Structure 1
Amino acid sequence: MKLCRVLVTPFLVALLLTTTACSSNSQPAFANKDSKNTSTQKKIGESSTKKKHGNTVASASSKNTGSSSNSDTAKSGYWNSSKAVALSKFMDQWQETMNQQYESYTPAKNVNFYGVNYPDELAKKTTAVDNQQVSIEWSNTGKGKKEYEVVAVYSDAEHVQDMGEHLYLFVLHNGQPKVLVTQQNQGMPDNLIHFKQTENTVLNTGFANIIKGQSATIPSSNSQSQKATSIVPTALRRTWYGYDDEGNLNTITITDDTLIANGSKTYLHTRDTNVDPAQEPQHDDWGSASTTNVRGINFLNIRGWNQTAGDGDSYGVKQENADGQNIDVMIEAGGADFWCSQTYYTSTDLAKKLQGQKYDDITYYDDAN
């Protein structure tokens, strides 16, 4: 406290008795670096205060007594424990719509994702986003010195039995919320693990709302979707092997409600055909399944769950004669007339032996020209 020097004279005695010591103004209890601008950070902090805390902190001697000081978000950054809980509840709802099961992971509890531990792997400079290596780190607040600040990690790795695992990173990129995803299941030539922003709009929007301090909800679907268990032809339900024109061996596994093509898994569902796919909740790894008979072949047609145009991919089984034996041949077809793009067999030996074989009663893409 600074003391003011006062010249005491008889004339000033009365005034001196009523004059108090001068003091400097005290500083606010908390200093918000973003309070002087209208940046995204400020808006996020204010929104979180209104939604989650209600009461504010302000210095009694501050001249700006009408301004709110800092909530939990403003003190710590974009992320806090309340938002982590909100994301957990949101993921519980979202995973049900995806027919998947996810767990949350932190530096105290890593997930083994195809032999790589997350989030510890973030510190090893092996992360790429859109094929570009990036700087990234775990952050408890969403703030830091890296391009990407990871505030949450979710994966279904502990609940998937095949090569269809997902790993999601919930990040702040230059202050903006993004959800990154990878399904990479093997090493790449550049020794990086490649992520991209998820195309799932429900997940992107939900996380963005949580960052803003708003509620995150799952849109209701107008359709009564269900697993395609009852419509997948029995003859298709197995693993198929086929060599393409470049000599690469491709595999397709079809079950009663899934299709796995070279490690990429699609969950098969049926729905009301009167519902506009564009109005459905986004499902990146769902397929809309239906059956149709073309030229005596019972085809399973699969389109993207939100696909609004195009014919999708179709799969059907036909018996053919090879070296005097009747064998099952799976036809992978596309286009408006279900043209065959590749044939598959029940074993790698048959696929190798009959590589490039064409059959007179199957309509190929070459026939469309």
Structure 2
Amino acid sequence: MKKGLLIIPVLASTLLLGGCGNQSSPQHKGTDSTQTSKVAKNSHVSHASSKAQQSSEEDQGLWNQSKSQKLAAYMQTWGNAMGQHYESYGPNHDTNFYGCAFPSQLDQILLKVDNQTVTMKWSNDGTGNATYNIVGIYCDSANAKPMDAHLYFFTFHDDEPVVLVTQQTNGNIMKSNANQPDDGLHFKETANKDLKNAFKQIANGETPAAPSGTDTANNFDSSVATSSSSKTSSNSNSNDDQNVPDNFPSNMQGTWYTYDSMSDQVITLKIDGNKVTSEGITLEVHKITPDQIKQNTANPPSSDSSHRYWAYFKSSNGWLNVYGWYQSAGTGTFYKVDTEDVNGQQVPVLEQASGTAMNIDHKYYQSKNMAMQQKDHNQSSQNQDTQTADDD
């Protein structure tokens, strides 16, 4: 740019010299014209060189805004090709992946890649001290079928682009001193060739090729991490609903608290694996076949103490439906984890609903103090649901 600014004075001095030359020697016209052309040409080359250098510097960095925009455009195209719809997440815009808020909870959740504990951090430029430095987060949880969401982390590992994916729904994922070997949120490198190649091309400053949509086996990240042990789930689900889990999802695991206005006390609900306990009663969730459902509802045994507190899962519009083993009427109990603003912070809330309208009966929080703090809010929800039921 500085050389460009010098064009005007150089041209002015050339013209002045040319004018003086015309008075004494006309044959200098060609020389002066050539000099002016050289200056303009050199200025143009300098400007083009400067732009090329700036573009080269942008491409040489691991990550920048331009590459982020290319990734966003590609994910829209790729998602359409896969029959999925992905949204982008980052600082100040967290995911709700079965209750997991990323990137905010990266430090709170036990993260694993190929069963190895790792660290992950958000990075604007791809650099950092974490095992995996995340530059992009894409998730289809807002649009996916129940228990069929995908979470992709676009990362740099040892300065190399790596795309990680998880579909895990079960297990204990929060960091604690009591973590077991199978605990944590398990990731693996994506099996999708199109996605891997596109991210590498974008990282290298190139424009990625359109997704091929071929070789389905290698272009689809299936549900290989639906439990904390990352075991492949069976495609033959035990009831009519697809992708129902063996256990309660990981974001529901733990002890929850809610204020109950009827008893004027805090009620505790504990979820552990396939069990849910509240007010001294524990329900165990088990797999069931369609034939068993028909048999149980048509001819329930008069006495079966072993299955008295058994239940099974159904999926319903993003809710997890817990249905009694011998239940033949009613809707069962619905559970879903959402987030709620408490003192300016987004906190997980376990919602419990019932009825065909899925009226919220209780909102459970992760501490007694928060349950008491939010009791008026919880009570207003209960009153609203009661009013809705009365209106019906």
- TM-score of Structure 1 vs Structure 2, range by shorter chain: 0.3 to 0.5
| TM-score, normalised via structure 1 length | 0.44
Greater RCO between the two (CA within 8 Å, min separation 6)?
A: 2
| TM-score, normalised via structure 2 length | 0.42
Higher share of residues assigned strand:
1
